[in-house]
Amino acid sequence: MTIKVGAAGGGQSPLPRFPDSVLGPDGELATDGNIIPHNGTLVNQIEMPTAYSTTSTGDYQGFLSGSLVWSVNATDVNAACDGWMGIVSHIYDSTNDRLYVFAVDAGTSPYTLYTAYITLETGAVTNVGNHQLAANPTNYNAIGGAAPNRPNIASGNFTLLFEDRTVVVDETDGSRVSDTASTNITGTNSPGTYTTADGTTSIWQSTFGDTGQSVITKSGVSTRISTVFKYDFGNKGLTSGVYFVNWGDKVKAYSPGGVDVPIIRTFLKTDFDDWLSDMADYAGI
């Protein structure tokens, strides 16, 4: 894989216009960290785990108007599970109200990967199935340790891009479709936390400030792009970068280091995918 380092542009201008943010309940949210708004009648906020390691699992939690409704730990998927993949490594199926999550049993060698989904309105956990990985991926449990992708919101196998492996998981039983060594890194120990629906383009976290960079990858070629989000996100009191999360027909711009605004933008998935593809063209990849 080729990594280009430097300012964006590829000799082209102007910079593609950032997509409009969805307003209302799916717009900006001011609350404590790791929470995503959810337009449900029984659950209207979802909190992602704050811990993502083999020793401290953390919980997915559902809230209604600030009151805890349910809590899901990795051991609720299977007693053998030690923790989750990175906390942005999940996919929401808004058609069926299912949040697909990936838990890990680190007691096997290589690790065993569990695919499951949480029904967000009830907190019910369904274990789809599991398989033993061909080899342990590097930094699988880093915050952006895997970029999950699915061709459709409600159907299709899952492709997980780790830093050094690409794993395809069968949607029906969690078995291994393929597991190959590959170079997917697009940032510091991160394979890109969001991939477009067509699987061609991914983006690593967006950092902010004058020295900030984002990394976009298309068809195996990556480029670092400086400060392309500064004008839209600014700092907003954030203490870490912005990640982009698959959330049904939407994309959530999320910062685990957000002091007041963990969800700082919400986009329609089609708009965000078009923009990301345009950014790759703008960057010359």
Assess whether pLDDT exceeds 70 at residue 40.
Answer: yes
Strand order, beta sheet including 176-181: 147-149, 158-161, 165-169, 176-181
pLDDT tens-digit series, residues 89-133: 889 999 999 999 999 999 999 999 999 999 999 999 999 999 999
Residue-level pLDDT at 30: 46
pLDDT of residue 282: 83
Q: Phi/psi at 274 (nearest 5 deg)?
A: -65, -45
Token code pair at residue 101:
């999550």
pLDDT recorded at residue 139: 79
Strand order of the β-sheet with 194-195 is 2-4, 221-226, 213-218, 201-203, 194-195
User: How far apart, in whole angstroms, are the C-alpha atoms of residue 221 and residue 230?
Assistant: 24
Contacts of residue 67, Cβ cutoff 8 Å, sequence gap at least 6: none
Widest CA span of the chain, in angstroms?
54
Query: SS3 of 277, please?
Result: helix
Listed by start position, the domains of the chain span: 2-282
- Encode pLDDT of 167-218 as tens digits: 999 999 999 999 999 877 655 556 667 888 888 888 876 655 445 567 777 8
Question: From the DSSP assignment, how many helices (H) and strands (E) are in the chain?
Answer: 2, 21
Q: Look at residue 138 in the predicted model and tell me its pLDDT.
A: 84
User: Hey, which of 67-71, 124-128, 277-281 has the most confident mean pLDDT?
Assistant: 124-128
